[in-house]
Structure 1
């Protein structure tokens, strides 16, 4: 289908219901929308990306974080100004309590969001999503680079903005306890 044909069928304002329908019709891409209405279409994560998310999930579960509080690639409702709502699909989310079975979950009980940087997503992960997650009140945001050390930059919310709390290789993180990072 050409971009002109797609454009004729796109709604003027894309909602989370529209994103859900797009994802159901096209399992080859991930769809997100900023609270300002900017649509992003990304290919699915690659193998190295998936392994990083799996390693973090196993680390959390092995340390006793219940599986019902950890999820990979789940939709979050990101509140915006003036009542607008965006939808992001972080690579990993940790909650303080289990969530309902919904496509787009609220951010109220989120403890941590992790984004694994893929080629082309650097600006979105390091600036746009960082600002959106801070505005949503998410207490911690980790960005994992796919460099040789798989560098993890840990941000903590302070005064409505994220500050860098620590930067370390993923291997070092995996040798700590989630309790040391306020995730227990």
Structure 2
């Protein structure tokens, strides 16, 4: 089916319910929408992407962060200007308390969002998402590259944007205490 044919069937404004329905019908893609209504369609994560997320989750669990405060690939409602709402699916989220069940969770209790940068997602993960997450007031944002060092760049929320706090290989992070990163 051509992009033109798909476009004829798309609603003029895509809601989070629309995204949920799209994902239920298409297990081969992940759908997100910015608060400005920019639709992103991504293939599922690859093996290395999944291993990085699993290693980071294991580190958090081993440090005593309860499992009900850590989630991989869960939807977040991202508030935007003029009452608009986007939906992003970070690779890992850490909350300060357990959340109620749902597909699109609020950002109010989020401590950290992690995005593992995949080929093709660099601009979204390093420009668009940090601006949206900072605008939502999420205290910390980390990106992890899929380079040989699996470079982690940690950002801290300052004012209305993020400032880089540290950059190091994932192996260094996994040998540190998560308490050093205000995750408890």
Q: Give TM-score scaled by structure 2 length.
A: 0.99
Deviation at 1:4, TM superposition (A): 2.7
**Aligned position for 1:57:** 57
Counterpart residue number, 1:158:
158
Q: Give the corresponding residue for 1:104.
A: 104
Matches of 2:8 and 2:164, distance apart in 1: 43
> Is the counterpart of residue 133 in structure 1 residue 133 in structure 2?
yes
**CA–CA separation in structure 2 for the residues paired with 1:4 and 1:133:** 32
Q: Could you say which residue in structure 1 is the equivalent of 2:183?
A: 183
Secondary structure of the 2:127 match is: helix
User: 1:18 — aligned with what?
Assistant: 18
The whole-number CA distance in structure 1 between the counterparts of 2:6 and 2:137 is 35
- Gap regions ≥5 residues in structure 1: none
Number of residue-to-residue matches in the alignment: 184
Aligned position for 1:149: 149
**Could you list the runs of 5+ residues in structure 2 that have no partner in the other structure?**
none
Q: Which residue of 2 aligns with 1:44?
A: 44
Alpha-carbon distance between aligned partners in 1 of 2:20 and 2:90, rounded to the nearest angstrom: 15
Q: Which residue of 2 aligns with 1:88?
A: 88
State the shift of 1:6 in Å: 1.4
Give the structure-1-normalised TM-score: 0.99
CA distance in 2, matches of 1:121, 1:31: 13
Distance 1:178 1:136 in 2: 23
Quote how far apart the aligned CAs of 1:177 are. Answer: 1.0
Alpha-carbon deviations, 1:40-76, whole Å to 9, x = none?
Answer: 0000000000000000000000110000000000000
Q: Distance in 1 between matches of 2:163 and 2:92?
A: 20
**Cα offsets for 1:136-180 (capped at 9, x unmatched):** 000000000111000000000011210001000000000011111
